[in-house]
Structure 1
């Protein structure tokens, strides 16, 4: 992480907004097992399909395929059931639990494309407590890259989206954060290739040092600096 090109250092924020899969937890193996099985069932090229489905609501992923005779809602429910059953290997991203634990409870939220039942299951499997504020697939009309989820989370926290920092791992989520007017950090822990953006990136939350002032305002520094 290049501290010279990381404008987030030294800025103050009122809240941090986190994507879940790939950002707070590593669920990529479980996700791809379930979606790979679904893709094979429908005759898709699994290798080509899997990179396209990360970071989006299941119903949006399926609807975009325009498969004949397919009800995206019912198919998304089938995939969701499979994902709830399969949480093998789901773990927290390095340093995430301690980082979240240092945040005031009313100063952060999760904004995920997963349904609430799956979010609860995966967070529990990774040892992350459900936050006070969470926005899931059921809460929005349009999923990422729409900013709706991040705008809703900021509203629920009672903060200006422009005073928020979004943590994301894939292009759809990064665009959602940008469109919400928030700052963005890209978490690269689970992807061989990170999305090409103008934003800073981290592989571990141990790379960050958090400061919280008496009024709850948040500031980040690089862990290696004083």
Structure 2
């Protein structure tokens, strides 16, 4: 087969290192990036919405929106164009390792290969404009580098992350703090529902939602966040 130009390289995220040196060489190939909206009650309220348990809704980012940040390093997030209001949204990310459709909730976590720390960066002013005009959120959510991500931690090492603190600081000042147990739709429920809309495949990433405290960041500011058991993610806005 010949291509008219070279295909884009596969987006692949390293597996978190362990005592097994082989894991340091392994990569998780990213297929699709799904995000669930307003999945913490307090965040739904701060965005002006009723946090009642309505069916979850989703949006997507392209795979090449992933900006990998290695542990112990500080990633660089380029401030995007056509906006004056970029917001941070700290999230627990589930990495799918087994295909499925119409997955039962009680079996949903069997499809998770591992977990990662992620940031859903958002051009909030463009999102507000899109909402007002009844348009899609693509330009607000799916821009270049809009998904900073740490390494994938396999379930075989960290277990399933169903509770534990989730937090984010900007320049050392706390902005977001909650507990993963406060998700309106748990990771299992989110995956099960998402699988009724799309066939999930190995390589899919599911951003599970952000807690309250989202806010704007400016060039030069340092975002540091984490989830208990998964370390920290550090990203500077440039």
Bucket of the pairwise TM-score, normalised by the shorter protein:
under 0.3
Which structure has greater helix proportion? 1
